[in-house]
Chain A
């Protein structure tokens, strides 16, 4: 399960980052690292991009980029 599969308002903990995904480096730089708690705050029209609460900040991220962030509920 990845962040892209979550609904608005759902919380989860990051399990691992898929390093084969081309966006993985950028995602890690923005602070999506294993063990962090995240929450889906908003979804834009067409459900993409997502606004995610992470480390006290709101991060907008495309679903496609979010697919490399594996989470557990």
Chain B
């Protein structure tokens, strides 16, 4: 048995979504924190030490927002269980429950439940200014008496009340009150009776602020308020005014579509120069290594396998950063919740949920953060269905592939290429709708989960987004992407490198007198791959490629794309023995593709029909090992990713076959 080290006390921040928890966490921690997993779960949480000047020794933990102690999703279940006892950090000494003062009665439910469970609780009342705008205020002393725990008004944006909160945390820690925590199974009747209590509490602690006359009048006013509190406490006026436009029955959806269109465009336009920068940076690094150690297998492993693999991971970072930055701004301002509401009805027809929208949109950048974003969907069936269709959103790794294939089909015709590219995106979306409704219809067979579909969510008050929160969110997502997708892509990149490098790792080149060193290098690379394990593998699957009018060379490239789809282009260049420099790689590859013949025959391999078939293949095929890995993790098993792999590969092959042979039947080569 291992001896447990004496642990530092654990202080956890708990609160409903939008209760100002993260802002408070940032203020107390000075934004220095690390992100860790709840053991055995997909939830990430932040843990940190208090800033030095607060003088508290202990771990401060942020927890995901929950509405109640009764979990409604697997993630919430883990959150609640870990509040009671965390496997690594132990039982919490203090729970700081954040409550939005303007949402007082609803947020108090969680606080009351937590107090009933026996935790040492301090209530931090946030957003008091919003309540004051409604001319209302909360008497914290009375509330403390009623709840039998300390209640402190805080504003983490200005620091108001923080010192009082800190000294209360210290005081509670010093008392060393052994906490006697019970997990209570709250029933409907319990919740209703807690709300009854809360209504009584609300009547005593909620007061009008602009009543400052004689005591008598004050008392009268108090009586008056008792009867009228509920109608006095209406949602924020400005928010309702903005909502009369943004949630307008007809304009609402139009505005939402425009906002998302701008977001979508910026993922590509702002990100593309940054992506090129990352790409050329890694290429420079890789060239540097090769030029230093000529053609040793180890330098090649470093440059092509490891640095190339790392580059494949990092190249999508700009898109992911921009996507999550803008989504963070929208979320923190309160708009994203409205978006989910506006789109819920159409999506529910497909068996999805308003909350599915953001993950689906993220899927256009990269499926990995998108699948992780699906965690916010509480309904299990809808979450799995969302994850299921995310690979059909055309991710940015497919863009270079479509770029190459469209340039081959329509050289120089940028406008038509652009239109066809949009159609490819649209086709992916429409297919996802069809797949979603079919899977939804036969959910018992495919998903094996039946869950009550519901959509209830709070529409938060509109606020200016807090940049600190947005940066934290962006950083967390980027970090998760690198940590989750990084190792898989890297390992596969090394395996693929080995498959294309061995056993013919040192081929002889004849008649090399008239060639430059660079050309010789490229030729060696090309010879090596044609005698490699990968080419044998490619030849093995050639019978499968033939019906699509393609041969083993494309087969090898398609296998290589499992590491990352955009590898297709560089792998084709290798196999077609392109000896040009990178600048006009696409151009020379296209001319090599034009000359490619099938086997010994005189028939060109790449024609309008086979290229169209390849495009269709890429729309469907689930060629991304990281997506498979993350889906396995997020759905808790191999069932869904394997189903996806079979269904999407089958669809890809079937439709590519139909397109190639259909076009040829119609006389289009």
The residues of A with any CB-CB pair to B shorter than 8 Å are 17, 19, 22-31, 33-37, 39, 41-49, 51, 53-62, 64-65
B240 touches A41 (CB 8 A): yes
**CA distance in complex: A64, B235 (Å):** 23
Asked if B572 is at the interface of the complex by the 8 Å CB criterion, the answer is no
Chain A residues with Cβ below 8 Å from B456 are: 23, 26-27, 30, 59-62, 65
User: Can you list 29 A-B contacts with CB-CB less than 8 angstroms, sorted by A residue number?
Assistant: A24-B188, A26-B72, A29-B70, A31-B106, A33-B196, A35-B199, A42-B243, A42-B244, A44-B345, A45-B253, A46-B346, A48-B344, A49-B344, A49-B455, A51-B459, A55-B105, A55-B106, A56-B103, A56-B234, A57-B103, A57-B106, A57-B458, A58-B240, A58-B459, A59-B457, A60-B456, A61-B455, A61-B456, A64-B454
Cβ-neighbour of B230 out of A37, A47, A48, A59 (below 8 A): A37
Q: Is the interface of B mostly helix, strand, loop or mixed?
A: helix
> Which residues of chain B have C-beta atoms less than 8 A from A26's C-beta?
72, 454, 456
Chain A residues near B247: list those with CB within 8 A: 41-42, 44, 51
A-chain residues with CB within 8 Å of residue B337 when the two chains form the complex = 60
Q: Is B154 an interface residue (CB 8 A)?
A: no
What residues of B have a CB within 8 angstroms of the CB of A44 in the complex? Answer: 247, 249, 252-253, 341-342, 344-345
**Does residue B299 face the partner (Cβ distance < 8 Å to A)?**
no
Number of A-B contacts (CB under 8 A): 139
| Given A30-B456, A49-B455, A51-B341, 6 further pairs, Cβ under 8 A | A19-B188, A45-B252, A47-B249, A48-B344, A53-B235, A62-B456
Chain B residues closer than 8 Å to A36, beta-carbon distance: 230
Do B344 and A62 touch across chains, with their CB atoms under 8 A apart?
Answer: yes
Size category of the binding interface on chain B: 35 or more
Nearest A residue to B250 via CB reads A45
Contact with A along B230-250 (1 / 0, CB 8 A): 110111000110011001111
* Interface assignment of B394: CB less than 8 Å from any CB of chain A: no
Residues of A within 8 A of B426 (CB): none
Give Cα A58–Cα B209 distance, bound, in whole angstroms. 23
Given the known A-B contacts A24-B188, A29-B109, A42-B247, are A58 and B345 also in contact in the complex, defined by CB atoms under 8 Å? no
B458-A28 in contact (CB<8A): no
Complex Cα–Cα for A56 and B130 (A): 11
Contacts A57-B458, A62-B456 given; does A46 touch B345 at CB 8 Å: yes
- Contact check, B243 vs A56: say whether CB atoms are below 8 A apart: no
